[in-house]
Copies of this chain bind each other. A is one copy, B any other.
């Protein structure tokens, strides 16, 4: 049934995530905790078109990176959640952020999270993944919130306090 170009793990990952938008959607669900279509559509920096977002969500559901549940507060609303497979993209996204921070013209506000995650190392990534398992898979809540830490740092930078230390 499958029409894969090859059995190489890098290639197969690329066949799923190798386009301009899939990882943007996952990033927004993961770091921005955007769970509804309209949140993903309107509040992203990059401005994805609604038909593209629709197609990507459909594909990510089919690939098993997202699941969707009805929202009890609104019959037409759906809540998109990360699966374990998507949560395991955390190290990949961290490395993408780390590379981008060194080799592309990132903005300070939008790269502070990447910096903290890079500096936090594998332990912080694991803590973050546990937190995502709590948020998206219903696992028990971890003691402290990496997401809140990241958000706090982001807000501090936006507020102009640049005393975070550069790397």
Contacts and interface: CB of A to CB of B under 8 A. Distances in A.
Contacts of A101: 9
Nearest to A31: B10
Contacts of A15: 20, 104
Q: Quickly give the copy total for this chain.
A: 2
Nearest to A92: B95
Nearest to A22: B18
Contact of A111 (B9, B103, B114): B9
Q: Is the interface of A mostly helix, strand, loop or mixed?
A: helix
A9 B106 contact: yes
Interface stretch (A34-42, A83-91, A145-153): A83-91
Given A10-B27, A11-B27, A88-B99, 15 more contacts: A7-B45, A8-B100, A8-B110, A9-B98, A9-B100, A9-B104, A9-B110, A9-B114, A10-B23, A11-B45, A13-B97, A14-B20, A14-B23, A19-B20, A91-B98
